[in-house]
Structure 1
Amino acid sequence: MKHISILVPYDAVPAAIVDPRYLFTTVNQFLIAAGKEPAFNVQLVGLERQIPLNNNVFAVNTDALCNEVDKTDLVIIPALSGDMKLAIERNKDLLPWIVKQYNSGAEVTSLCLGAFLLASTGLLNGKACSTHWFLADEFRAMFPEVTLADGSIITEGDRLYSSGGASSYWNVLLNLVEKYSGREMAIRISKFFALEIDRKSQSPFIMFNGQKKHEDEPIKKAQEFIEENLTERISIEDLATRFAIGRRHFIRRFKKATNNTPAEYIQRVKIEAAKKHLENTRKNVNEVMYDVGYTDVKTFRTVFKKITGLSPIDYKHRFNRDSAA
């Protein structure tokens, strides 16, 4: 029987504690109903017997304290909420326990913004990780030694797992069910919870706002210029000349400040504008393409799919209410 320890950190998202517990106990119920032994011993583990959450709106009673769990097979770190630096500080006493369990052979998975706590252990240094796209820039700034897998639903390697944003954590949980209990059980669980199994990307849900939390004013002005001139063909040479910076130096500064090359930034700004047109208007794909400065249909579709994971028409069908109807 696998021992699963679901951590209950301070500032945790309650659903990210309840959902994995419900999922793994449901697997046990299915096995028992089939005349088999349960596969999992599921415990809620924390630093106190009762952990208040959401400004004391909720409280979770733990099954065991960390110092009472000498060895476990899987540690689940739920999503955190609020200020990430503060949340990490409040939960710093959990970090040695997570490292100890990993060094003793346990697997560790973070759900959504739980990646911030997992990264704080140092276990992810030199490795890849997924988290919610909304705080991707903050994650990179706090953990430069971790490679953030943009758009990925699940990242795994060396007994470490992480998931993308919000409900994406269901997919990493399904992945673990399949690993421990087989594909047939994973499919059954996905049907029971009405989940799309094998979902790989959160790219269709990413909203690109541009990274402007930096102090490089010429680069910030270059970003604003790009955003205000969507329909124009803007070259890197034009931008470098406009802001009186050498081309190679401009590219380096832009990448450092925004985590995108100038060419990538131009593409992402245009595609973000195209997404809004597809979501909110009745314009067809060609009209939208021209509105954001593309003139070649093949190029537009290729870039759009690269960034969103969907073709423009599939994106419109998924997110435009009139189109869906």
Structure 2
Amino acid sequence: MKHISILLPRESILASIADPRYMFTAVNEFLEAAGKPPMFQVQLVGLEKEIKLNNGAFSVHADVLLKDVKKTDLVFIPALSGELKRAVEINKEFIPWIIKQYNNGAEIASLCIGSFLLASTGLLNGKECSSHWLTANEFRDMFPEVTLVDGRIITEEQGLYSSGGASSYWNLLVYLVEKYTDRETAILASKVFAIEIDRKSQSPFIMFNGQKKHEDEPIKKAQEFIEHNVSDRISVEDLALKYAIGKRHFERRFKKATNNTPVEYIQRVKIEAAKKHLETSTKNINEVMYDVGYSDTKSFRTVFKKITGLSPIDYRNKYNREAFGNRIQA
């Protein structure tokens, strides 16, 4: 029987504690209904017997204290809440235990912004990680040695798992059910919990918000110029000349400050503007394309799909209420 430890961090999100417990106890029930033995012993593991969440609105009771768990097979780190540096600091007592369990052969899975606590262990240094897109800039600032993967829902590397934002951690739960049981059980779990199995990307949900928490003022002005001139065709050469910086030096400074190359930043700003047009207006794809400074249809569609994971028309059908209504009527 596999031992699953769901940590109870101080200042964490209740659903990300309850949901993995619900999933794996339900899988035990599925197995028993099929005449098979249950596979998982699931425990809530805390630093204290009772953890209060949401300013005391909820209380969660640990099944066992951290100091009493000597060995486990799979550790879940739920999503933290509140100011993240503080959330990591008040939960630092978990860190040596997580490292010890990993070194003893356990696998570790962070859910949503539980990635901040996992990254604090140092186990992710030099590795890839998924997290919520909303906290991506803060994550990169705090953990520069970790490669944060934008858009990916599940990241797996050397027994370390992480998931994308919010409810997308359900996809990681199903993924782990399949790994520890079989495909048939994972499909059953996905149907019972109404989860789209094998969903790989959170790209359609990402809202680009350029990193400006840096002290390079010329680069900050270049970012603002890009954002205020979405319909113009802007080249890196023009930007470097405008701010009197050599092109190569400008590119290096821009990448260091924003975590994007100038070309990537221009593309992401334009595609974010295109997404908003497609969500709210009745303009056709070509009109939107021209509005954000593209003149080549193939190029626009390629960049749009690369960033969002969807074609422009699929994106409009997914998020534009009027387009969706017309599709239903059709």
Distance in 1 of aligned mates of 2:156 and 2:170: 15
Map of 1:310 onto structure 2? 310
2:17 is the alignment partner of 1:22: no
SS in 2 for 1:92: coil
Please list the CA deviations of residues 156-190 of structure 1 after superposition, one character each: whole Å capped at 9, or x if unmatched.
01111000100110111111000011000000000
Which amino acid in the other structure matches residue 34 of structure 1?
A
- Give distance in 1, aligned partners of 2:99 and 2:237: 48
Q: Per-residue deviation at 1:27? A: 0.4
Name the SS for the 2:28 alignment partner. Answer: helix
How many residues align? The count is: 325
Provide Cα deviations, 1:74-125, integer angstroms capped at 9, x if missing partner. Answer: 0000001111100011001011111111111100000000000000011111
Residue 32 of structure 1: how far off its partner (Å): 1.3
Looking at structure 2, the residues matched to 183 and 244 of structure 1 have their Cα atoms a distance apart, in angstroms, of: 58
Shift of 1:194: 0.4
Specify the alignment match of 2:78 in structure 1.
78
SS in 1 for 2:144: coil
Q: Per-residue deviation at 1:36? A: 1.5
Amino acid paired to 1:280:
T
- Two-structure CA RMSD over aligned residues (Å): 0.7
| 1:187 lines up with 2:175 in the alignment | no
**CA distance in structure 1 between the aligned counterparts of 2:43 and 2:79, rounded to whole angstroms:** 17
1:128 paired residue number:
128
Tell me the CA shift for residue 310 of structure 1: 0.3
Structure 1 position 206, deviation (Å): 0.4
What code does the residue aligned with 1:185 have? T
Aligned to 2:156: 156
Deviation at 1:217, TM superposition (A): 0.8
Alignment partner of 2:5: what SS?
Answer: strand
Residue identity in the other structure for 1:137: N
- The residue number in structure 2 matching 1:93 is 93
Paired residue secondary structure (1:27): helix
Match of 1:175 in 2: 175
Query: 1:220-261, CA deviations, whole angstroms, 9 ceiling, x for partnerless residues?
Result: 111111111111111111111111111111111111111111
Deviation at 1:146, TM superposition (A): 0.7
Cα distance in 1 for partners of 2:259, 2:131 equals 16
SS in 2 for 1:295: coil
CA distance in 1, matches of 2:128, 2:77: 17
Unaligned runs of at least 5 residues, structure 1: none
Describe the SS at the equivalent of 1:232: coil
Distance 2:179 2:226 in 1: 46
Structure 2 residue aligned with 1:42? 42
Query: Aligned equivalents of 1:230 and 1:313: distance in 2?
Result: 20
Calculate percent identity across the aligned residue pairs: 72
What secondary structure does 2:109 align onto?
strand
1:294 matched to 2:304: no
User: Residue type of the partner of 1:230?
Assistant: V
Letter in 2 for 1:254: F
Residue of structure 2 equivalent to 1:216: 216
TM-aligned CA deviation for residue 284 of structure 1: 1.0
2:227 alignment counterpart: 227
Question: How many Å separate the matches in 1 of 2:130 and 2:77?
Answer: 13
CA offsets, 1:2-38, max 9 Å, x none?
1000001001100000000000010011111122211
**2:166 match:** 166
CA distance in 2, matches of 1:189, 1:49: 30
Could you say what secondary structure the match of 2:93 adopts?
helix
1:110 and 2:110 equivalent? yes
Give the aligned partner of residue 142 of structure 1.
142
CA distance in 2, matches of 1:222, 1:319: 31
Post-superposition offset of 1:209 = 1.2
SS at match of 1:152: coil
Which residue identity lines up with residue 217 of structure 1 in the other structure? E
Q: How far apart are the structure 2 equivalents of 1:35 and 1:306?
A: 46
The runs of at least 4 consecutive aligned structure 1 residues that moved more than 6 Å come to none
Q: Secondary structure at the match of 2:180?
A: helix
Q: Counterparts of 1:82 and 1:9 in 2: how far apart (Å)?
A: 12
Deviation at 1:208, TM superposition (A): 0.4
User: Which AA in structure 1 matches 2:10?
Assistant: Y
